Structure 1
């Protein structure tokens, strides 16, 4: 299976799920007392940033993607929309670990100026939990005295990491994982073949973003290896298995993700049956696997050896 390239939130016009969050926003807008700051929170990859862009399109008269405002939002050239997120570390080839104060401070001048198109000014902070303390404090000062006709949307998969004072100044909207019906529609719209959709829905837990990540697993090859390992076959892992995993796009990350998900589910089942010692042992293996993934990716260690080490962690259960 060749995974289709997913659209970015800026380029996604169809909205699936999140009906309650949309209704709350629309009710607030129609009341004429739209809150100035919103916290959109929920699991990763379920469409929170897409929802934030949809709100921005409503406020900036760009719901129609072919309208002048709609085209500017899609192109990233709308003068009344500012989007902030973690930048790319070109040297390491991955997203930076933080959003820093220098990236947040320009919001102040952006919000204080007159709207270029005579309406709202909108700011989206995607991954708000990655703001460091200086960035969060800079944003907090803006929220204490918000200008009129300005709306900020903070998107976060870990709202507990935000400053409590920051959370208290936002209206929270809980975003839930998508239903299977919504997931099926999203995946078909993104171009996934029918034979792949059911497998991805089962493993994605209501997250189109996770489904897109799992879509890198050609024909479910890594998932098959993970299933065999979790059924007691990890001790037979071979260098050939490791090579076949590492050769795939995102192969090592896929292995760790699927193994971690399987271990998490097993630990929950054991805890539910009061097998607490066994649940703790599986939870410890889950932690060891997560640490192996972090260290391998952080220090660019040999992924083939890391795959075999992951097998050892599982085989000890």
Structure 2
């Protein structure tokens, strides 16, 4: 999949486009929009699409579109988690220093005489100071300025930020839309992606299905043995192997909890929910502190074992 800044192939979010288009046509365009939906569903792609609408950059080979794609358009500013150069991964939060350029950007006259657009991608990662800095901007927006916030966790945002934004809630893509966007991805991967192209690409990293098979065996109660340790070491070495294994284990535990609730077994449902929560804590700690992933995988397997 393309970077959202470069992706002109928006699919599956026609209703959100229609709502925004009607507001723009009416001349009563709200100054802040909260684009919410599951991870990987296309929230940032939609934000850049709407930004191009405002900036007259919808035609891919137009000068304005090329500037948006290159990140050099003077009237478009993107705020997101920065890369931690020491660890080679995204930082855990968006800081006040990351948000600070928005204030200066909003004060300047639009370089091309139109709208000024800010995209805050992953607004749930705003720390307290960054959120308060952004809130001040939302409370007193300059004319002809728009802020798009994307989030997979609207509840993690300050209520005062949510209340100042008009929501655009995105739905999962249909099977046909998923196949159009990802024509080369296996059917079993698309089925597990729940209408999210980004999740499908993440799952597709398990190219031979070995991690998914491993997780299935663990969820069925199989304990680690000598034959499985080679896979544990392999997964630990892969860039996204540990994250993928935790994701699949977490999904399996969530399904276990739903099944237990359906059968009226609330105690086991609560246990599965707690196991999933503990797994997420293990993942955050392992990735945040760069701990031994092979050891963490063994802990994850123990966490997911049947009671």
**Which band: TM-score by shorter chain?**
over 0.9
CA distances 1:133-191 after superposition (whole Å, capped 9, x unpaired): 22222222222222221111011111112121111111111111211111111112xxx
1:48 to 18, 43, 46: 43
1:89-168 correspondence runs (5 A): 89-168=84-163
Range that drifts further, 238-247 or 278-287: 238-247
Asked whether the equivalents of residues 86 and 127 of structure 1 are also in contact (C-alpha less than 8 Å), the reply is yes
CA distances 1:179-205 after superposition (whole Å, capped 9, x unpaired): 1111111112xxx3xxx4311111111
The verdict on how the C-alpha distance between 1:146 and 1:183 changes in structure 2, with shifts beyond 3 A counting, is same
Equivalent-residue separation in structure 2 for 1:240 and 1:33 (angstroms): 60
Please state how far the C-alpha of 1:110 moved relative to its aligned partner. Answer: 1.3
The verdict on how the C-alpha distance between 1:292 and 1:100 changes in structure 2, with shifts beyond 3 A counting, is closer
Equivalent-residue separation in structure 2 for 1:168 and 1:40 (angstroms): 13
Please state how far the C-alpha of 1:278 moved relative to its aligned partner. Answer: 1.4
1:277 to 267, 270, 276: 267
Q: Which runs of 4+ in 1 moved over 6 A?
A: none
1:178 to 158, 173, 181: 173
Partner residue of 2:248?
Answer: 258
Question: What is the total number of aligned residue pairs between the two structures?
Answer: 306
Range that drifts further, 237-246 or 172-181: 237-246
2:69 to 65, 68, 74: 74
Structure 2-normalised TM-score?
0.95
Range that drifts further, 272-281 or 303-312: 303-312
Structure 1-normalised TM-score?
0.92
The verdict on how the C-alpha distance between 1:140 and 1:294 changes in structure 2, with shifts beyond 3 A counting, is closer
Structure 1 segments unaligned to the other structure (5+ residues): 1-5
Equivalent-residue separation in structure 1 for 2:295 and 2:104 (angstroms): 50
Partner residue of 1:239?
Answer: 229
Equivalent-residue separation in structure 2 for 1:286 and 1:145 (angstroms): 41
RMSD: 1.5
Please state how far the C-alpha of 1:235 moved relative to its aligned partner. Answer: 4.6
Range that drifts further, 213-222 or 243-252: 243-252
Partner residue of 1:3?
Answer: none
Asked whether the equivalents of residues 221 and 306 of structure 2 are also in contact (C-alpha less than 8 Å), the reply is no
1:206 to 185, 195, 204: 195
Equivalent-residue separation in structure 1 for 2:215 and 2:264 (angstroms): 26
